[in-house]
Amino acid sequence: MSPRAGLQSLALALLLTSPQGFPAERVRIAEATSFIMSAKADLNASHDLVLYAHTFLGTHWRTDVIIQAVTEAALLIAPCGVHVKRLELRTIEAPRAFHFYSTQQSRELLRVLEVPKPAFFFVEDTYNRPAFDAEAIGLANSKGRPELANTVWVAYGARDLSQALAHELVHVLSDSGAHSNEPGNLMRDETALANSSLSGTQCERIRAQGVANGLLAPR
């Protein structure tokens, strides 16, 4: 989890001027494409995971960048016995204000859009304070924002993207906001390329909570 350097003024303007009570038909999945993930992550796997990634029409995010980052993130959690067997990349058509992450706006988006979980959202920027490159919401920290449960929101330009995705995904699967002080651990409070390992205890929690919350399927 890395702090965001700053917010674009455009994000603030769009957020403040977005209409309330927008017609539900203005939000839809414009396109959905499934990708079978690499068999390299399937070795000795005990659990399967399907991920749903969302972008927006007109986004700065490129499809190939997202697919590559998710593929690399999948390899980081593979030692825990978790195989990401499929990625579904969905493109959302929605008012521009919803291309930016904020608790209020994003809850409104998910009230009208059916989203399988766990779900990534690749947004233009974040309006939340403090601002982070990526933010995860599990079940445990979604009581006041239930629509956002089991989602990860990633701002354009997030650094160490593959590590950031894996880090936030672990938060969701383990249903925990805990970080680690262990050198090289993926769950250190700030992501870095050198932080890529998970402990046996962390893996056990990922599998147990992932199954309990309906996010992982045991083989």
Phi, psi of 12 (to 5 degrees): -65, -45
* Residue 178, burial from CB neighbour count under 10 angstroms (0-12, 13-18, 19+): exposed
Residue 17, pLDDT > 50, answer: no
Output the six-digit token pair for 60.
Answer: 């700065």
Report pLDDT for 4: 60
Does residue 83 contact residue 41 with C-beta atoms inside 8 Å?
A: yes
Computed over every residue of the chain, the mean pLDDT equals 90
CB atoms within 10 A of CB 123: 26
- State the residue for tokens 């992982």: 216
CA-derived radius of gyration, the chain: 17
Is the pTM higher than 0.85? The answer reads yes
What percent of the chain lies above the pLDDT cut of 70? 86
Q: Which band of pLDDT confidence, cut at 50, 70 and 90, is reported for residue 1?
A: low
Report pLDDT for 131: 86
Domains of the chain, start order: 26-180+201-218 (3.40.390)
Output the six-digit token pair for 19.
Answer: 């209409």
Model confidence pLDDT, tens digit, residues 25-75: 689 999 999 998 866 657 689 999 999 999 999 999 999 999 999 999 999
Q: DSSP string covering 2-50, please?
A: -B-----HHHHHHHHHPPSS--GGG-EEEEEEEEEPPGGGGTT--EEEE
Report pLDDT for 149: 98
Instruction: Give 99 or 21, the one with higher predicted confidence.
Output: 99
CB atoms within 10 A of CB 96: 14
Mean local confidence (pLDDT), 1-12: 51
Model confidence pLDDT, tens digit, residues 68-120: 999 999 999 999 999 999 999 999 999 999 999 999 999 999 999 989 999 99
